[in-house]
Amino acid sequence: MASFSKMIPQQALVIRDGEKKELPADQLVVGDVVEIKGGDKIPADIRLIFAQGCKVDNSSLTGESEPQSRSCDFTHENPLETRNIAFYSTTCVEGTATGIVINTGDRTIIGRIASLTSGVGNEKTPIAIEIEHFVYLVAGVAVSIGVLFFIISVSMRYKILDSIIFLIGIIVANVPEGLLATVTVSLSLTAKRMAKKNCLVKNLEAVETLGSTSIICSDKTGTLTQNRMTVAHLWFDNQIYSADTSEDQTTQPFDQSSPSWTALSKIVTLCNRAEFRPGQENLPIMKRVVVGDASETALLKFAEVILGDVMNIRAQKKKVAEIPFNSTNKFQLSIHETDDPNDKRFLLVMKGAPERILERCSTIMINGKEEPLDSEKAEAFQTAYMELGGMGERVLGFCHLYLPENEFPDTYLFDTDSMNFPTSNLCFVGLLSMIDPPRSTVPDAVSKCRSAGIKVIMVTGDHPITAKAIAKSVGIISATSETVEDIAKRLNIPVEQVNRREATAAVVNGMELKDMSSQQLDEILCNHSEIVFARTSPQQKLIIVEGCQRQGAVVAVTGDGVNDSPALKKADIGIAMGIAGSDAAKNAADMVLLDDNFASIVTGVEEGRLIFDNLKKTIAYTLTKNIAELCPFLIYIITSIPLPIGTITILFIDLGTDIIPSVALAYEKAESDIMNRRPRNKRKDRLVNEQLAVYSYLQIGIMQSVGAFVTYFTVYAEQGFLPSTLLGVRVNWENNAINDFEDSYGQEWTKYQRTYLQWTGYTAFFVSITIQQVADLIIRKTRRNSIFQQGLFRNKVVWVGIFSQIGIALILTYGLGHVTALNFTPLRFQYWFVAVPFAILIWVYDEVRKLFIRRYPGSWWDKNMYY
């Protein structure tokens, strides 16, 4: 809320009791008459009763970038559109006005947005839900096994106290102690990785949310486009040429040999008031800062790229008169001397709205020759104009006239007020059209989203035609798909008769959206795969987001304005623009794109999916050894053998050897199919699903237990206790008073000697689990691909994990083997290798599993074995 508070204007000029007073804005009441002038912030929502040349900058509220003029006239039903209301927190750019306060504080439009933003609750992220689900699952398994064995042990006549200790032991063995650390570490790692790619993640869990995103509602300006007008097409000599619109153009490839182009380039260069800021000669042209409006900047840079030093050319052809662009004339005109010393004629150049320019022309230049402008040529112009306009581009017409030397000698004084020079019967030269072109990375990013099953919806305040053109050029509307209107046009039937189901694409106007019920909106969102919302008021963004969420989608929203903040907050993941974004938007968002680049979102999606996958792998890894920790306990209770592994030892696995490897899985690279599968269905595709639990618990876990038990029995057998002797010995074994316990060979053991042997057993069991966890770690690197496809050594951290695992085990066994309290003993070296065949078996078995999954997709094996 701090960013909202900062917007509060300090003072307001109020007329009360017939006197003008300066009051703090928060003391205004409804009905106060306030005066504002250029530069003031509007102190409340006011209705204007007097305005003189007043313009307000509503960009923070509505996203409209150009200042809006304000008058006392009621022009629209919608308060946001009518001219006679100025809004709290916007700025008066020029002029003066007087108005009556109609709303203050929270009741103002911006206040409502603010309270909407704070009102939209922070809901649980998908990953939080998944982890909660996982916790329930593990708790369920732990408690039910615990209770089951409590009942078994009670019925086997163990003491109640012992049974309770067993119960606690079983639950402890089941708790994945290291998981919390792993989740946090993987999230932070990814956040760090994303920060490198210019995505700032504010809310760690949001990273994963992005991965499960199924709909992206993207803003157009600045996110999909470069936010910079660029010349896209030219029309001269009856032909349309395309220009390069990429971010770093250095040349223009179209045919520049025609004399008409020479003429056109002169007009483009001369009839232009924009200038480069000085001192930028070393910068690439596209990066230079220009003083001037967007179109003129585009023309200036265009000319600079093709012709070189424009400022020099202008200096050579001295300007003698100029009429700047205004909205009544809709043209701009200037008169120049020529740089040819033999040619004393003046050159009049003009540019403006194409139809206005054409009206003033009587001839048209074709291949450098002036030809009369007959109806055929006028029609060619119309066709070209329509075509360029249809591509959503802003079109400008250019014409010129060499003033006859006899009428206009070089001493002639031009007067722009009386216009003592011809402004009609000019020679039409050509058209230039400009657009804010898409970023070059966007089409690729959009197609990546497509193949990843993510629907990209464009939501823009722009004109439908421009929006559609950009949507088509970036692939949001694919080349083959049609809207209802397109089909109607093609079949030449009224729009109403078109079967709406046939159209895959839809362009929805904000005005239509306003009259739609939520069912109608749902219908559009369901039936069309490619949707563009144009002319949307920012408030409608929220409606669209809610509509998408009603479909069960996980929605990502990009936005920059204050007005977007409710939608950003409402979205499952709000993404604010780092450069163009307002503070309020950044506050409401979960993620900030520092370079405003849509392609970063795709990276984010990939990272998010990767996190989910890697968490799955980590959990699978962690769960596996729980069985190897639990089984000894169960066997101990049932068959009364000496306890194979102690609680302290279990903790050393969970919090010692296993921590670094499970974190290492967070560094695992994505599997090849990560961006080719559909987003996960948050209701069905759980983090920990049945297959994962079953495969880890009942297959790999059991294999590990078998391997560890072989080691355990080997240790006891080689010390004199054959497996047959061990069964049922628990009570005597643990009896402190029995100090002549006989082994299979007739030797007698004291209690302490037995206990020490039992610790050796713990150590052996521990070492076996560790060795097999190495295999478990390796197999968990992939879920579908072979380890050899993934690269055994690509993830170096996994190897750090493996070495740390073995290192910690070595330290515990040999370094701390003499510390009685830890229950470790120095182990004979060969016992480290007893479980190795089982580790290899685990690896081979998992490779076979993955092979069948890849070979037979959709088969019984795939359904039951793929987690």
Candidates 133, 202, 450, 682; binder of another protein (CB under 8 A) is: 682
Contact 126, 571 (CB under 8 A): no
d(CA 164, CA 839): 34
**Residue 527 in the binding site for another protein (CB under 8 A):** no
| 686-705: contacts with another protein (CB under 8 A) | 698-699, 702-703
**Residue 752 in the binding site for another protein (CB under 8 A):** yes
Give the DSSP letter string of 182-229.
HHHHHHHHHHHHHHHTTEEESSTTHHHHHHT--EEEE-STTTTB-SS-
**Residue 732 in the binding site for another protein (CB under 8 A):** no
Contact 488, 494 (CB under 8 A): yes
Q: Which of residues 246 and 750 has its CB atom nearest to another protein in the complex?
A: 750
Q: Which of residues 227 and 823 has its CB atom nearest to another protein in the complex?
A: 823
**Residue 725 in the binding site for another protein (CB under 8 A):** no
**Residue 123 in the binding site for another protein (CB under 8 A):** yes
- Which range, of 124-132, 157-165, 613-621, 780-788, touches another protein by CB under 8 A? 124-132
Residue 385, number of CB atoms within 10 A of its CB: 18
- Least distance CB 865 / another protein (angstroms): 9
Burial of 307 (0-12, 13-18, 19+ CB in 10 A): middle
Q: Which of residues 145 and 631 has its CB atom nearest to another protein in the complex?
A: 631
d(CA 177, CA 175): 6
**Residue 144 in the binding site for another protein (CB under 8 A):** no
**Residue 200 in the binding site for another protein (CB under 8 A):** no
Is beta strand 45-57 parallel, antiparallel or unpaired with respect to 85-86? antiparallel
- Which range, of 298-306, 402-410, 635-643, 715-723, touches another protein by CB under 8 A? 715-723
Q: Which of residues 96 and 744 has its CB atom nearest to another protein in the complex?
A: 744
- Which range, of 445-453, 576-584, 736-744, 848-856, touches another protein by CB under 8 A? 736-744
Residue of 310, 307, 286, 306 whose CA lies nearest to 298:
286
Q: What is the sign, positive or negative, of the torsion defined by CA atoms of 698, 699, 704, 710? A: positive
- How many whole angstroms from its chain centre is CA 31? 45
Candidates 39, 279, 494, 746; binder of another protein (CB under 8 A) is: 746
- Which range, of 238-246, 385-393, 486-494, 752-760, touches another protein by CB under 8 A? 752-760
Q: Which residue among 32, 40, 45, 219 is the active-site one?
A: 219
Residue 222, number of CB atoms within 10 A of its CB: 21
Q: Which helix (H) or strand (E) holds 729?
A: none
DSSP 678: P
For the window 551-580, what string marks contact with another protein as x by the rule CB under 8 A?
A: ---x-----------------x--------
Phi, psi at residue 509, to the nearest 5°? Answer: -85, 145
- Which range, of 156-164, 365-373, 575-583, 708-716, touches another protein by CB under 8 A? 708-716
**Residue 757 in the binding site for another protein (CB under 8 A):** yes
d(CA 353, CA 283): 32
Print the SS3 string covering 372-425: ECCHHHHHHHHHHHHHHHHCCCEEEEEEEEEECCCCCCCCCCCCCCCCCCCCCC
Residues in the chain: 867
Q: How many CA atoms lie within 13 A of 3 on its CB side?
A: 16
- Least distance CB 745 / another protein (angstroms): 5
* Residues forming a β-bridge with 574: 557
- Which range, of 35-43, 462-470, 641-649, 734-742, touches another protein by CB under 8 A? 734-742
Angle between helices 598-639 and 126-155 (to 10 degrees): 0
Q: Which of residues 120 and 664 has its CB atom nearest to another protein in the complex?
A: 120
DSSP 687: S
- Least distance CB 65 / another protein (angstroms): 32
- Which range, of 87-95, 281-289, 557-565, 732-740, touches another protein by CB under 8 A? 732-740
Q: Which of residues 237 and 564 has its CB atom nearest to another protein in the complex?
A: 564
Candidates 11, 739, 786, 859; binder of another protein (CB under 8 A) is: 739
d(CA 595, CA 144): 51
Residue 128, number of CB atoms within 10 A of its CB: 13
d(CA 240, CA 33): 56
- Which range, of 77-85, 143-151, 609-617, 750-758, touches another protein by CB under 8 A? 750-758
- Least distance CB 87 / another protein (angstroms): 30
For the window 797-836, what string marks contact with another protein as x by the rule CB under 8 A?
A: -----------------------x-------x--------
Active site residue 776: no
Candidates 329, 416, 520, 753; binder of another protein (CB under 8 A) is: 753
Candidates 740, 788, 793, 858; binder of another protein (CB under 8 A) is: 740
Q: Which helix (H) or strand (E) holds 741?
A: strand 741-742
**Residue 793 in the binding site for another protein (CB under 8 A):** no
Candidates 422, 443, 453, 720; binder of another protein (CB under 8 A) is: 720
Q: Which of residues 128 and 147 has its CB atom nearest to another protein in the complex?
A: 128
- Least distance CB 530 / another protein (angstroms): 25
Q: Which of residues 362 and 747 has its CB atom nearest to another protein in the complex?
A: 747
Hey, is 801 helix, strand or coil? helix
Query: Which pair of tokens denotes residue 316?
Result: 């050579």
- Least distance CB 200 / another protein (angstroms): 22
Q: Which of residues 303 and 703 has its CB atom nearest to another protein in the complex?
A: 703
Candidates 465, 710, 822, 836; binder of another protein (CB under 8 A) is: 710
Q: Which of residues 198 and 719 has its CB atom nearest to another protein in the complex?
A: 719
- Least distance CB 739 / another protein (angstroms): 4
**Residue 744 in the binding site for another protein (CB under 8 A):** yes
Contact 45, 101 (CB under 8 A): yes
Q: How many CA atoms lie within 13 A of 641 on its CB side?
A: 25
Alpha carbon distances (Å) from 433 to 65, 230, 236, 497: 21, 8, 12, 35
Q: Which of residues 196 and 683 has its CB atom nearest to another protein in the complex?
A: 683
**Residue 864 in the binding site for another protein (CB under 8 A):** yes
**Residue 719 in the binding site for another protein (CB under 8 A):** yes
Candidates 717, 806, 822, 836; binder of another protein (CB under 8 A) is: 717
Candidates 140, 791, 807, 837; binder of another protein (CB under 8 A) is: 837
- Least distance CB 601 / another protein (angstroms): 19
Q: How many chain residues touch another protein (CB under 8 A)?
A: 49
**Residue 134 in the binding site for another protein (CB under 8 A):** no
Contact 562, 582 (CB under 8 A): yes
- Which range, of 96-104, 186-194, 224-232, 751-759, touches another protein by CB under 8 A? 751-759
Q: Where are the beta strands (DSSP E) in 451-606?
A: 455-459, 505-509, 530-534, 555-559, 573-577, 591-593
Alpha carbon distances (Å) from 176 to 253, 434, 726: 62, 60, 31
d(CA 335, CA 46): 46
Q: Give per-residue burial for 264-280: e unless 16+ CB within 10 Å, then b.
A: bbbbbbbbbebebeeee
Q: Which of residues 423 and 691 has its CB atom nearest to another protein in the complex?
A: 691
Please identify every residue annotated as catalytic.
Answer: 219
Q: Applying CB under 8 A, which residues contact another protein?
A: 123-124, 126, 129, 549, 554, 572, 682-683, 698-699, 702-703, 706, 709-710, 713-714, 717-720, 722-723, 736-737, 739-740, 742-753, 756-757, 760, 820, 828, 837, 841, 860, 864
